[in-house]
Structure 1
Amino acid sequence: MEVDLGGFLSQNDTYDYDDEYECTADVESEGSEAVLVTVLYSAVLVVGLLGNVLLLALLAQKRRSWTISDTFVLHLAAADLLLLVALPLRAAQAAHGGGWYSGVALCKISGAVFNINFYCGIFLLACISVDCCLSIVHATKLYSHKKPGFAHLSCLLVWFISLLLSIPDFIFLTTEKDAAQMKTVCVHSYPQSATDWWLLSHLPHLILGFLLPAATLIICCFLILLRLQQRSKKLQKERAIMVILPLVVVFFLCWMPYNITLIVDTSRGRSKQPQEGSLKTALMVTSALGCVHACLRPLLYLCLCGNFRKLTLALLRCATEESKSSLWEFGVGEEAPPDQGHEVDALKQVTSAEDQVQATQC
Structure 2
Amino acid sequence: MFAKTLSASHQHGKRLSEPRIRQLGSLVTWLCLSFCSERLEICDFWNPFRNFVNLEHLELFADWGRPRKLVPFSAPEYGLTQLRTLKLRGYLPMEFVQWLLNEPAHVEELQLCVLDFPGIHCGGHGEPEQFFEAIPPHMRDQVVMDAIEDRRRLRGLARFADYQDKAIAPRSLACLSFDTIRRFKKLNKLYLYKPAAGRDHDDLEVYFSVSSEFRILLEWRDLILATRNTLEYIIFDQRPVCDLRESDDQAEIVCEVSHGDSYKRFVDIVLPTLIQGETFPALRMIRLFGFEPYEDDPCKEGPQEFELLGESENVPALLQAAFPEAKITNHIGRPIFIHKKWGELYGGGDVLNDTAGLLTIGEMIMY
Scaled to the shorter chain, the TM-score interval is: under 0.3
Q: Using structure 1 for the length normalisation, give the TM-score.
A: 0.23
Higher helix share: 1
Q: Which structure carries more relative contact order (alpha carbon 8 Å, separation 6+)?
A: 1
Higher strand share: 2
Q: Using structure 2 for the length normalisation, give the TM-score.
A: 0.23
Which structure has the bigger radius of gyration?
1
